Chains A and B, each alone.
Chain A
Amino acid sequence: MTKTFQAGPPGETIKSDCQVYYTPGSESLKIDIESKVLVLFSDAIHDLVQKTFSLLGVTTGTVLIKDFGALPFVMMAQIETVVKRAHPELSTEALPEFKEHARYGSSPGRFRRSRLYLPGNQPKLFLNAGIHKPDGVILDLEDSVPPAQKDAARYIVRNALRSLDFFGSERLVRINQGELGMEDLEAIIPHNVHVVLLPKAETADQVAAMDNKVQEILKREGLDQQVYFMPIIESALGVLNAREIATASKNNVALAMGLEDYTADIGTQRTLEGKESFFARSMLVNAARAAGIQPIDTVFSDVSNEEALRISVRETKALGFDGMGCIHPRQIKPIHEEFAPTETEIARARNIILAADEAETRGLGVVAVGSKMIDPPVVKRAERTIRMAIDTGMLAETWKSG
């Protein structure tokens, strides 16, 4: 008896995605297509299905595509999902073209004020994510993806990494915990991931294991690129080990807080006031700062309450964090605005930078503003303030000459 395998989201009100039904068989491949864009794309869809099967090395069986306007990279991923559900032993991959606009790089010290979570199995949310200019987009393979969709999400995310333009946002992927996460790395690392988020980090060993795996993949693929890490602390043990976690890899660029799981772990609930997480967040800020990396706060989950978000960002900033997570594009602007330096901060930073410039021209070892000595970390901080002021349009790039 032949079994029909299926992939794709359930239901009829699907956007920018498709359902694929595949029945293995010995006859050469038969393709059926139903699509709401059939009039415009019947040939293109047919060719794509043919091409995807041939990349996977499968030439037989019957496939039915029910398409709701899926972009090619999505359809390829759903086909790969269904074929591998039928043939788990297959090791071939059906990779879409690696676009030039998907090849830009990142840097350890860039801004990470906002990072936008995108559920890995919902590609429609990816397509325009970059236009809202978050500092980073997180293609999530972990908690936002239901267990039955893990395989599909992995291929969708991989294909998105090769296909989509995120317009300069840092490209992050949150992998799953444990062994599944190691498999995720195999699938995604060769496709220009800037940062891997490691969920539920509790020990330095976990970070080291991930690091080893990533270096192994990069070496095997002959890729000369940096992949950075952002471990997420989500438990009491993680908080207590924060320092070791932060220093576990030279590729760590940030340490992030995950408060939903953390508060559950210490046996309480998250409140708006946040007293229950004060210790953990302070610990994380100190561990990250001690390691010279960025402390990043948790997500703010009440999407419709912008005022509460702004209050929360101000508090986050005051605690010493450099950024926080968002789950909706409309949260990005308030976060950037609240993290932006104040006029006073900018004025102070300008004085410090000018004084540092002057000290350098005059060959002085010590920077001073008025009668006050300025330490190097403060100068560095001022440089960052100036960069952020320029980025948020509060200061002209040419401020020194102007």
Chain B
Amino acid sequence: MKKNYEFVKNAAGRKIPTEVNGKKQVPFQGVHGYKPVGVKAAPLVSSCTDYPMDGNKVLPSIKAALKQAGLKDGMTISSHHHFRNGDLVMNQVFSAAAEMGVKDLMWFPSAAFPCHEPMIEHMESGVIHHIEGSLNGPLGRYASEGKMNGLAVLRSHGGRWQSVQDGEVHIDIAILAAPTADSFGNATGDRGPSTCGLLGFGLVDSLYADKVIVVTDNLVPFPCIPWQIQGQNVDHVVVLDKVGDPEKIVSGTTQLTKSPDRLFIAELTAKFVQAAGIMRDGFSFQAGAGGTALAFAIYLKEMMIEAGVKARFVRGGSTKYLVEMLEEGLTDYILDGQTFDLDGVRSMRENDEHVNTSPFTSYNWHGKGNFASMVDVVVLGATEVDVNFNANVVTHSDGQMLHGIGGWQNCLFSKCTILPIPAFRDRIPVIVEEVTTIVGPGELVDVIVTERGIAINPLRTDLIEATKDSGLPIRSIQELKVEIDDLIGGVPQKPKLTDEPIGIVKWVDGTVIDTIFKVKSEK
């Protein structure tokens, strides 16, 4: 069903719809432009006397809990993504909703994974109206084809908190899958057969949803310690045989990239961090769990040992490699947002210096400051970067929406943002004239490291000055682009877009930075 949209141009020069999924939208007003006023949203008032005095909130099934929570047409159901591709809960939740005959729900996950492909059926049958959250894999493809009823609304991890606190998204029922919980609803992610480390992405849901349902397969007698999620915020508890597939929640060991080109880029990135003087005693860094980012951390570690330098803190997603740094005394703390492997989980459980954080402490626009801007250097990926250093993580050059934002936008506020990326993938250039979708404004992207050279954002005269005699292959971004365009046989043509939006990309403050339009099919 094609709707008519009105469009305006935002401060990034992008055409954006004025209203999406029934909500009026604010156009992007610049990186620091938008500051809403007033009071934050709040959940319903509750009274403890409405809850069992013995603290036992266990109900026999998901359906019973949904019924008790008052599920009805048009509600918003939220969930966290700490179980990643091993989540066994959310498909059951929407199957139960379907059996109950409920329609037009909005699913509001912190991210969706390929295991959630059955949601397509629920969208086809009208149980789910649309999804607002990172859409990876099959769901991304479905939305890219314009088949979803509403538009995809892509938010960063911090942006999800902001949207709830602004009242832009009101969560009716939050479903919090928990590796371990007690009957009162206290819950933790750091132990149990489906352990995932922590539950930080579900914290906002537990605080702001009208109704909160904890779902676990490992019920322990009160108290469940630690209580990452507090039972005082929880309405009901459901116990299932199995809530997650452990092998798909965390990997046994994180695999390092074997690609010589990626290792080369990772090493070059670490050398840059050292040459720029960022790697010094008491510094901090964040690198994700992607192959290149992991390899970067390993190269950096070697350099830190050689130089006798110690970090004050590193930001997770944690892996074995960060845990080793903590255990070998190369950093005082890991401030962790999610754990990617079993070593990360163990460390979070056993080591007080491995700290459980949530997007509120790290990333939130409505926080009184946040950690992200205090990090000395962050290493991130991208699908495209343009000659003005604008970067894209959600769409590919062919216009397909295939990835979520995660914490990516929030991390851009670090003191130095580096994107180590291959200069081309297959025949597709990564450095382009103009990104397909702006997800990160160029003024926040400082350095691009490719296998063919390093480009520093001209705004960062300090970094240019610091590295000018380093012997590193520093080149202009235009020069890199020319070299790659020559290799791939000329600048690629643009995908032909329709005027039908299939999704919007939010900036961290809740404004709309760009629109994703449906691609015209080639044949």
B residues 493-517 near A (Cβ < 8 Å) are 493, 495-496
Which residue of the partner chain A has the closest CB to B492? A40
Q: Is the CB of B264 within 8 A of A131?
A: yes
| B489 close to chain A: CB less than 8 A | yes
| Residues of the B chain whose Cβ atoms lie less than 8 Å from the Cβ of A99 | 486
B residues 242-264 near A (Cβ < 8 Å) are 260-261, 263-264
Task: Write out, one digit per residue, whether chain A residues 1-42 have a CB within 8 A of any chain B CB (1) or not (0).
Answer: 000000000000001100000000000000000001111111
Q: With contacts A39-B398, A41-B492, A42-B493 known, is A328 near B426, CB below 8 A?
A: no
Q: Is the CB of A37 within 8 A of B487?
A: no
Q: State the CA gap A41–B427 with chains docked (Å).
A: 9
- Bin the interface of chain B by size: 20 to 34
Q: Is the CB of A127 within 8 A of B487?
A: yes
Q: Is the CB of A36 within 8 A of B426?
A: yes
Which residue of the partner chain B has the closest CB to A43? B493
| B464 close to chain A: CB less than 8 A | no
Which residue of the partner chain B has the closest CB to A128? B261
Q: Is the CB of A41 within 8 A of B264?
A: no
B residues 175-221 near A (Cβ < 8 Å) are none
Nearest Cβ on chain B to A223's Cβ, whole angstroms: 24
Q: Is the CB of A131 within 8 A of B452?
A: yes
| Residues of the B chain whose Cβ atoms lie less than 8 Å from the Cβ of A36 | 426
A residues 117-131 near B (Cβ < 8 Å) are 127-128, 131
| Residues of the B chain whose Cβ atoms lie less than 8 Å from the Cβ of A181 | none
Q: A39 contacts which of B260, B451, B452, B522 (Cβ < 8 Å)?
A: B522
Stretch at the interface among A53-61, A65-73, A342-350: A65-73
Q: Is the CB of B427 within 8 A of A70?
A: yes
Q: Is the CB of A37 within 8 A of B493?
A: no
Q: State the CA gap A383–B343 with chains docked (Å).
A: 52
| Residues of the A chain whose Cβ atoms lie less than 8 Å from the Cβ of B452 | 131
Q: Is the CB of B492 within 8 A of A44?
A: yes
| A238 close to chain B: CB less than 8 A | no
**How many interface residues does A have (CB within 8 Å)?**
27
Q: Is the CB of B260 within 8 A of A48?
A: no
Q: State the CA gap A192–B427 with chains docked (Å).
A: 25
Which residue of the partner chain A has the closest CB to B267? A333
Q: Is the CB of B260 within 8 A of A37?
A: no
| B490 close to chain A: CB less than 8 A | yes
Q: Is the CB of A71 within 8 A of B493?
A: no
| A329 close to chain B: CB less than 8 A | yes
| Residues of the A chain whose Cβ atoms lie less than 8 Å from the Cβ of B260 | 128, 132, 328-330
Q: With contacts A40-B428, A131-B451, A131-B452 known, is A330 near B493, CB below 8 A?
A: no
Q: State the CA gap A218–B305 with chains docked (Å).
A: 54
| B440 close to chain A: CB less than 8 A | no
| B519 close to chain A: CB less than 8 A | yes
Q: Which of B483, B493, B519 has the most CB of A within 10 A?
A: B493
Q: Is the CB of B427 within 8 A of A37?
A: yes
Q: State the CA gap A99–B485 with chains docked (Å).
A: 13
Q: Is the CB of A131 within 8 A of B427?
A: no
| Residues of the B chain whose Cβ atoms lie less than 8 Å from the Cβ of A42 | 493, 522
| B231 close to chain A: CB less than 8 A | no
| B399 close to chain A: CB less than 8 A | yes
| B64 close to chain A: CB less than 8 A | no
Task: Write out, one digit per residue, whether chain B residues 427-451 have a CB within 8 A of any chain A CB (1) or not (0).
Answer: 1100000000000000000000001
Q: B487 contacts which of A68, A69, A71, A330 (Cβ < 8 Å)?
A: A71
| B397 close to chain A: CB less than 8 A | yes
Q: Is the CB of A37 within 8 A of B489?
A: no
Q: With contacts A16-B427, A69-B428, A330-B263 known, is A39 near B519, CB below 8 A?
A: yes
| Residues of the B chain whose Cβ atoms lie less than 8 Å from the Cβ of A127 | 487
Nearest Cβ on chain A to B448's Cβ, whole angstroms: 15
Q: State the CA gap A37–B519 with chains docked (Å).
A: 14
Nearest Cβ on chain B to A386's Cβ, whole angstroms: 19
Q: B492 contacts which of A37, A48, A165, A329 (Cβ < 8 Å)?
A: A37
A residues 323-340 near B (Cβ < 8 Å) are 328-330
Q: Is the CB of A131 within 8 A of B426?
A: no
Which residue of the partner chain A has the closest CB to B494? A40
Which residue of the partner chain A has the closest CB to B422? A128
Q: Which of B489, B493, B496, B522 has the most CB of A within 10 A?
A: B489
Q: State the CA gap A71–B427 with chains docked (Å).
A: 6
| B488 close to chain A: CB less than 8 A | yes
Q: State the CA gap A301–B332 with chains docked (Å).
A: 41
Which residue of the partner chain A has the closest CB to B426? A69
Q: State the CA gap A15–B261 with chains docked (Å).
A: 15
Q: State the CA gap A36–B489 with chains docked (Å).
A: 16
Q: Is the CB of B261 within 8 A of A72?
A: no
Q: Is the CB of A48 within 8 A of B397?
A: no
Q: Which of B260, B398, B451, B522 has the most CB of A within 10 A?
A: B260
| Residues of the A chain whose Cβ atoms lie less than 8 Å from the Cβ of B425 | 69
Q: With contacts A44-B493, A71-B488, A99-B486 known, is A39 near B399, CB below 8 A?
A: yes
Q: Is the CB of B493 within 8 A of A41?
A: yes
Which residue of the partner chain A has the closest CB to B397? A40
Q: State the CA gap A197–B398 with chains docked (Å).
A: 43
Q: Is the CB of B495 within 8 A of A16?
A: no
| Residues of the A chain whose Cβ atoms lie less than 8 Å from the Cβ of B486 | 99
Q: Is the CB of A128 within 8 A of B451?
A: yes
Q: State the CA gap A68–B397 with chains docked (Å).
A: 16
| Residues of the B chain whose Cβ atoms lie less than 8 Å from the Cβ of A68 | 426
Q: Is the CB of A44 within 8 A of B489?
A: yes
Q: State the CA gap A76–B404 with chains docked (Å).
A: 37
| Residues of the B chain whose Cβ atoms lie less than 8 Å from the Cβ of A40 | 397-398, 427-428, 492-493, 495
Q: Which of A36, A39, A44 has the most CB of B within 10 A?
A: A39
Nearest Cβ on chain B to A280's Cβ, whole angstroms: 31
Nearest Cβ on chain A to B292's Cβ, whole angstroms: 14
Q: State the CA gap A78–B522 with chains docked (Å).
A: 24
Which residue of the partner chain B has the closest CB to A17? B426
Q: State the CA gap A165–B483 with chains docked (Å).
A: 10
Q: With contacts A37-B398, A71-B487, A330-B263 known, is A15 near B492, CB below 8 A?
A: no
Nearest Cβ on chain B to A17's Cβ, whole angstroms: 10
Q: Is the CB of B426 within 8 A of A16?
A: yes
Nearest Cβ on chain A to B279's Cβ, whole angstroms: 19
| Residues of the A chain whose Cβ atoms lie less than 8 Å from the Cβ of B264 | 128, 131-132, 329
Q: Which of B399, B452, B487, B495 has the most CB of A within 10 A?
A: B487
Q: State the CA gap A36–B400 with chains docked (Å).
A: 12
| Residues of the B chain whose Cβ atoms lie less than 8 Å from the Cβ of A15 | 426
| Residues of the A chain whose Cβ atoms lie less than 8 Å from the Cβ of B489 | 41, 44, 48, 71-72
Task: Write out, one digit per residue, whether chain A residues 71-109 have a CB within 8 A of any chain B CB (1) or not (0).
Answer: 110000000000000000000000000010000000000
Q: State the CA gap A175–B329 with chains docked (Å).
A: 54
Can you list 22 pairs linking A and B with CB atoms under 8 Å apart? A16-B427, A37-B427, A37-B492, A39-B495, A39-B522, A40-B428, A40-B492, A40-B493, A41-B427, A41-B492, A42-B522, A44-B492, A69-B425, A69-B428, A71-B427, A71-B487, A71-B488, A71-B489, A99-B486, A131-B264, A132-B264, A330-B263
On B, residues with C-beta under 8 Å from A are 260-261, 263-264, 397-399, 425-428, 451-452, 483, 486-490, 492-493, 495-496, 519, 522
Known pairs A16-B427, A39-B398, A40-B427 / 17 extra A-B pairs, C-beta < 8 Å: A38-B522, A39-B399, A40-B397, A40-B398, A40-B492, A40-B493, A42-B493, A42-B522, A48-B489, A68-B426, A71-B427, A71-B488, A131-B452, A132-B260, A165-B483, A165-B487, A330-B260
By Cβ-Cβ distance, the 3 closest A-B pairs, closest first, are: A69-B426, A40-B492, A72-B489
